[in-house]
Amino acid sequence: MRLNGPKDNVLVSVIHLGKFFQNIFLRVNNGFLRWRKGTYDTNTMMILLPRCLQHSACTQNVVEESDNCKRCGRCPVGDVVEVGRRQGTRVLTATGGLMAREYVRRYQPRLIIAVACENELLAGMFKVFPRPVYALINSRPHGPCKDTQINPDEVEKVICMFTPLEVDNKKK
């Protein structure tokens, strides 16, 4: 990790806080976004997935193009791609922080729904600040960076939470 400014110093401090405080930090971030009640068209959001969500034995190149996923059901990527298709939201898989940042630079999403481990979420969040990032922590039943999991319904719930219709209903 290259350090080159005050933002990086804060990031290093937060990453060294340990999982418990990282979790709290991410919850506060998500709570703040919900409290702010911003609305976004679904096509201005971006779902960002980590490479480790893809099944380790899968040979489909979903990093270059999520439509290459065959939706075979062995990993959550297929169902998340389906959520993106249904909601009109771009789904991208990144092999690391650099690629994730390149996606953000290229597509300029107004809201990023990012799936990753606590460290990666925090690092990414600081790197793209002040762009809003809603953080979804993946589960790691096989250890870190291998066949990680996320519930696709949770991803869809977040999209719906920030769409104008849902926010209007909450205001009533």
Residue pair 80/136 in contact (Cβ under 8 Å)? The answer is: no
In angstroms, the CA 82 to CA 6 distance is: 39
Binding-site member from 14, 22, 49, 78 for ligand SF4 (CB under 6 A) = 78
- Report in angstroms how near the CB of residue 66 gets to ligand SF4 at its nearest: 9
- Kindly write out the interface string for residues 12-51 of this chain, putting x where it contacts ligand SF4 by CB under 6 A and - elsewhere: ----------------------------------------
* Interstrand relation of 90-94 and 45-50 (parallel, antiparallel or unpaired): parallel
54 binds ligand SF4 (CB under 6 A): yes
66 binds ligand SF4 (CB under 6 A): no
Q: Which letter does DSSP use for residue 94 in this model?
A: E
Cα separation values, 57 from 79, 80, 92, 145, 150, Å: 17, 18, 19, 13, 18
Site stretch for ligand SF4 (CB under 6 A), options 10-18, 30-38, 68-76, 122-130 = 68-76
- Report in angstroms how near the CB of residue 78 gets to ligand SF4 at its nearest: 3
